[in-house]
């Protein structure tokens, strides 16, 4: 960490819970390497307080932008003046910046970060069959990004059937014939199974799905990044499956953040 | 600076302008020495935005308190649920903390920090004649503290005659016969002249008073702490007067902050 003084610019990452966020540990060393007089701090915001906290943060003169995590990625879009294409398509955002004219612009880098991370680990998504569990903010972003990256098929699952239906309608219009949905995971012929739920954040969470239902040779990816080895990834590894940890998604968003926040 | 993670607690210092605040450079090393997973960040708030920013900050779950500087020390009292005696008497506060029950309690350590700083530098205030220029938030706190510490006489000056009158009424009730006021500085028989205005913060500011009007042997103290040597202190030193720099007030408030924020 560089020294914080009165001239230091602020970025904040908003979530509930907040203790598990890894962005400060990744972004602050980047700011240091770039020689920027800026710091990213964690900000714990309960859902009922989002409007008031964001309203207050927007009026802080030396705060240049926000990163957004669970559960605020949908709701934050209501507080932005402008949505970049990835935020508009997914209806969710994980980054907001103040434009020179004072408007706030929201974008979503979860999907591109996830795909970049898969490729960097040698898992090319093109032509693969994906099962995605969780149609929340991150799930929608990942769904659009793996389809955009050439996934052969995507089976979306969420316990909330309305969410699944809404997501299928949007994805099917843009990528017809490659998308299916259900309220129970369909894993039996997946090449890649992805947890895009927050399950695994809290001790005692159930597994988001049973890796034992996957074929041999499948890859299990998690977006939970509280610890490198989540219960899901441990269970998958114990069955001999390849695993892809959640931090990769964030690691590979750093370049996106750097561009977005003009660092 | 310790490493900032998702578990890091927040303190914020609010001011307008903010670039000159020294609290982050003093408090963050203290937090490090104490091994606290907490950080103090600068927050630039324009006066019109104070209510909304404070309303937002109060709802941040991992924010434990605020330091307050120019020009918000009066107005912040309207946003506190409870005033400690020094804040109640001065009508101004420079620290606010969240109590265990969620109420926000405001206190004012400017005065005690200033007196402790004077004493640490060998300038015992008891029996001395003070001239104080500036009856704003810091001025009121300093006035009460030097009278409490035994100053023989205090001549208060502010260009705003109503402010002077209001302050005299309050001080005179508690310390009768020792206080006078005017809209022009009365320096000719002062032992200690104190600048409690923000003049000296911005390049091109006029001097708050002319040190040439002081008797030989007088001490000139500044509360401006943007740089150790303010234009006022340079002018005083050039005339052979003793000087007392603004950072001393903040240095000697650190113990107060430590107790107040339960660090």
The answer to the question of residue B208 being in a domain is yes
Do A71 and A33 share a domain, yes or no?
Answer: yes
Q: Does a structural domain hold residue B67?
A: yes
- Say if residue B54 is in the same domain as residue B132: no
Average pLDDT over residues A121-139: 94
Q: Say what the pTM is.
A: 0.82
Q: Could you give the percent of chain A with pLDDT greater than 70?
A: 99
| Predicted local confidence at residue B1, as pLDDT | 53
B263 vs B251: CA distance, rounded Å: 16
Strands A9-15 and A63-68 come out as: parallel
CB B143 within 8 A of CB B154: yes
The enclosing domain of B60 has a CATH number of: 3.40.50.10860
Name the token pair of B117. 């700083």
User: Residue A96 corresponds to which tokens in the numbers above?
Assistant: 């907001």
Domain identity same for B201 and B119: yes
Question: Domain span at residue B119?
Answer: 111-249
> Is B143 a residue whose pLDDT tops 70?
yes
Q: Which residues of B touch A (CB under 8 A)?
A: 1-8, 10, 15-16, 18-22, 24-25, 28, 39-46, 49, 52-57, 59-63
Please indicate, yes or no, if residue B177 is contained in any of the structural domains: yes
Task: Check if the beta carbon of residue A45 is closer than 8 Å to that of residue A21.
Answer: no
- The reply to whether residue A57 touches residue B59, judged by beta carbons under 8 angstroms, is no
- Residue B213 pLDDT > 70, yes or no? yes
Query: Do A100 and A133 belong to one domain?
Result: no
Beta bridge partners of A15: A44
With pLDDT > 90 as the criterion, what percentage of chain A qualifies? Answer: 86
Please give the Cα distance from B77 to B86 (Å, whole number): 12
Question: Phi first, then psi: what are they for A99, rounded to 5°?
Answer: -80, 165
| Contact flag A53-B59 (C-beta cutoff 8 Å) | yes
- The model's confidence at residue B136, banded by pLDDT at 50, 70 and 90, is confident
All residues at 6 or more sequence positions from A37 whose CB lies less than 8 Å from its CB, including other chains: A2, A5, A7, A8, A9
Of the three residues A83, A108, A133, the one that is the final residue of a domain is A108
pLDDT in tens, B59-83: 999 999 999 998 999 999 999 999 9
Beta strands A95-98; A104-107: pairing state: antiparallel
Structure-token pair, residue A121: 């680990």
Q: Looking at the structure, do residues B85 and B127 belong to the same domain, yes or no?
A: no
Verify that B29 and B70 share a domain, yes or no: yes
Q: Which of B22, B72, B73, B105 is catalytic?
A: B73
B1-50 per-position pLDDT tens digit: 569 999 999 999 999 999 999 999 999 999 999 999 999 999 999 999 99
Verify whether the Cβ–Cβ distance B10 to A54 is below 8 Å.
no
A244: confidence class by pLDDT, cuts 50, 70, 90: very high
Q: Which residues of A touch B (CB under 8 A)?
A: 1-8, 10, 15-16, 18-22, 24-25, 28, 39-46, 49, 52-57, 59-63
* Residue of chain B whose Cα is closest to the Cα of A15: B6
What's the structural domain count of chain A? 2
Is residue B259 a part of any domain in this protein? no
**Is B226 a catalytic site residue?**
no
pLDDT at site A1: 53
In sequence order, what E strands does B17-103 have? 38-44, 63-68, 82-83, 95-98
Band (A29; pLDDT cuts 50, 70, 90): very high
Residues B162 and B243 in one domain: yes
Domain end, chosen from B85, B108, B131, is at B108
Q: For chain A, give the mean pLDDT.
A: 94
Q: Which pLDDT belongs to residue A35? A: 94
Assign residue A202 the CATH number of its domain.
Answer: 3.40.50.720
Chain A: residue whose CA lies nearest to B56: A53
Distance between CA atoms of residues A198 and A205, nearest Å: 9
Average pLDDT for residues A230-244, to the nearest whole number?
96
Cα within 13 Å of Cα(A170), Cβ side: 16
Q: In what order do the strands lie in the sheet with B129-133?
A: B179-182, B153-157, B129-133, B192-195, B219-222, B242-244
Same domain, A18 and A104: yes
Closest CA–CA distance from residue A59 to any residue of chain B (Å): 6
Inter-chain touch A43–B52, beta carbons under 8 Å: no
- Binned at pLDDT 50, 70 and 90, residue A255 comes out as confident
Q: Are B36 and B92 in contact (CB under 8 A)?
A: no
Q: State residue B247's pLDDT score.
A: 87
Q: How confident is the model over A21-33, as a mean pLDDT? A: 93
pLDDT for position B100 = 93
CB spacing of A3 vs B5 below 8 angstroms: no
Residue B115: pLDDT above 90? Answer: yes
**Closest residue by Cα to residue B4 from A13, A172, A16, A228:** A13
Q: Is residue B254 part of a domain?
A: no
Q: What is the mean pLDDT of chain B?
A: 94
Per-residue pLDDT for A57 more than 90?
yes
Give the pLDDT confidence score for residue B138 in this predicted structure.
Answer: 82
Closest residue by Cα to residue A92 from A39, A151, A28, A145: A145
Q: Is A260 inside a domain boundary?
A: no
According to the model, what pLDDT value does residue A2 have?
62
Q: Is B85 exposed, middle or buried (0-12, 13-18, 19+ CB in 10 A)?
A: exposed
Q: What pLDDT score was predicted for residue A70?
A: 87
Which of B81, B108, B135 is at the close of a domain? B108
Say if residue B91 is in the same domain as residue B116: no
Residue B255 lies in a domain: no
In this structure, the answer to whether residues A115 and A146 fall within a common structural domain is yes
Set A73, A116, A128, A245: catalytic member: A73
> How far apart (Å, rounded) are the C-alpha atoms in residues A54 and A148?
32
B147 and B24 in a common domain: no
A73 — alpha (psi -120 to 50), left (phi > 0) or beta?
alpha
Q: Are residues A240 and A116 in the same domain?
A: yes
Banded pLDDT at B111 (limits 50, 70, 90): very high
Residue B3 in domain:
no
Q: Which residues pair with A164 in a beta bridge?
A: none
């Amino acid at each position: 960490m560089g020294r914080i003084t009165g001239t230091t610019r602020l970025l904040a990452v908003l979530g509930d819970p907040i203790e598990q966020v890894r962005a400060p540990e990744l972004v602050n060393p980047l700011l240091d390497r770039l020689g920027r007089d800026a710091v990213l701090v964690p900000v714990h915001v309960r859902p009922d307080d989002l409007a008031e906290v964001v309203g207050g943060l927007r009026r802080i003169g030396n705060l240049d932008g926000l990163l957004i995590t669970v559960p605020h990625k949908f709701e934050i879009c209501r507080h932005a003046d402008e949505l970049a294409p990835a935020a508009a398509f997914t209806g969710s955002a994980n980054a907001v910046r103040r434009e020179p004219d004072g408007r706030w612009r929201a974008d979503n880098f979860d999907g591109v970060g996830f795909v970049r991370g898969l490729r960097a680990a040698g898992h090319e998504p093109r032509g693969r069959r994906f099962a995605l569990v969780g149609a929340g903010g991150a799930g929608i972003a990942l769904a659009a990004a793996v389809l955009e990256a050439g996934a052969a098929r995507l089976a979306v699952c969420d316990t909330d059937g309305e969410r699944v239906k809404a997501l299928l309608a949007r994805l099917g219009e843009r990528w017809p014939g490659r998308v299916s949905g259900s309220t129970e995971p369909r894993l039996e012929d997946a090449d890649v199974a992805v947890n895009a739920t927050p399950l695994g954040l809290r001790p005692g969470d159930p597994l988001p799905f049973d890796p034992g239902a996957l074929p041999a040779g499948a890859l299990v990816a998690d977006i939970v990044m509280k610890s490198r080895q989540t219960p899901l990834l441990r269970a998958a590894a114990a069955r001999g499956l390849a695993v892809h940890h959640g931090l990769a998604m964030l690691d590979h968003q750093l370049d996106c953040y750097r561009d977005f926040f003009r660092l």
